[in-house]
Structure 1
Amino acid sequence: MNEESNKPNYEQIYQEYRQQGELQATQEQLTNQSTDGKESIVAVRKNADGDIIAIQTSAGRELDYVTAVNEAKAGALAQVDVFHRYGRDILRSEPDGVQSNNLDNLPTF
């Protein structure tokens, strides 16, 4: 028997771990959305440079970027954080390992 075939496939093990983590994070996010009563961001509007300039919430509201940041800081929006960098407040999705819910990856409106 070949000794090489007995070695674990580390890449495959890691990829399975990542996939399981993404599934679990997605399930947790859905659970949190249904129980906290906060609106989530479901779509974004970008300018010609690709910067997010507005968001759309799960309730259908369209908010300019500054209003969205203020609502996130007040705790009214789910699964987003506000951090200060480059002399301004920046809105970002909570780091949860799920790429599809990152603000840059959301559908546009």
Structure 2
Amino acid sequence: METVVGIHRNHFGEIISFVTSGGRVISYQKALMEAANGDITGVLAAEDHHGNLVLSPEQQDQSFDHYPNLF
């Protein structure tokens, strides 16, 4: 099973895609679907306070800031 090893951010600092251990670069939406299906590890799909599905790191005490920004 693949895990998230890096992220890509836009110039606003928003995460736009993820890099997997298999070398794939997947969009935020694709990562959201794969996390919800249990196809990737390192991220969790959860509902925010508005009821929208969002990604969060598996470790609740961490943020995505600990992932390297890979290009």
TM range (shorter): 0.7 to 0.9
Q: Secondary structure at the match of 1:40?
A: strand
Partners of 1:44 and 1:79 in 2: CA distance: 12
Match status 1:95 vs 2:59: yes
Higher Rg of the two aligned structures: 1
Structure 2 residue aligned with 1:56, among 12, 15, 19? 19
Alignment map for 1:31-46 (pairs within 5 Å): 38-46=1-9
Alignment map for 1:1-109 (pairs within 5 Å): 38-85=1-48, 86-95=50-59, 97=61, 99=62, 102-109=63-70
Aligned-pair RMSD on alpha carbons?
A: 1.6
Partners of 1:48 and 1:88 in 2: CA distance: 23
Q: What percentage of residue pairs aligned between the two structures are identical?
A: 32
Structure having the higher helix fraction is 1
Post-superposition CA distance 1:29-59 (Å, at most 9, x none): xxxxxxxxx1111110011221111000000
Runs of 4+ more than 4 Å apart: none
- Between 1 and 2, higher relative CO (CA 8 Å, sep ≥ 6) is seen in 2
Contiguous gaps of at least 5 residues in structure 2: none
